[in-house]
Amino acid sequence: MIIRLSPLPRHSIAARGEYYRDKNGVLISTNTVNGFNTWGYSLNYDFLVLPNAMWRLEARGFSSKDRIFVKGDDQSASNYFITTSIALAF
């Protein structure tokens, strides 16, 4: 599910929630009892720099039933990160 608001003409904010499930490990193998059973969520800000160029700042997170994410030498049931990108249309 995605909710998007555009408070100003070149600015928008969106929130997204997703659920992934691959119990048998067909696409994503985790070697755990629950398989890949993960919630994903994000919050992003988009700025239309030019009519054909958009800049995005996004904070994302994942939460799983099992400890499937690697953090250094440890494993965790969650993973969080911030990304930025520029998209161009031709």
The 3-class secondary structure across 4-62, one letter per residue, is EEEEECCEEEEEEEEEEEECCCCCCCCCCCCCEEEEEEEEEEEEEEECCEEEEEEEEEE
Q: For residues 53 and 87, is the Cβ–Cβ distance under 8 A?
A: yes
Q: How far apart are the first and last CA of the chain?
A: 28
pLDDT tens for 16-74 read: 999 988 887 778 888 887 888 899 999 999 999 999 999 999 999 999 988 888 888 99
pLDDT band at 89 (very low <50, low <70, confident <90, very high): very high
Q: Domain residues of the chain, as ranges?
A: 2-88
pLDDT of residue 71: 84
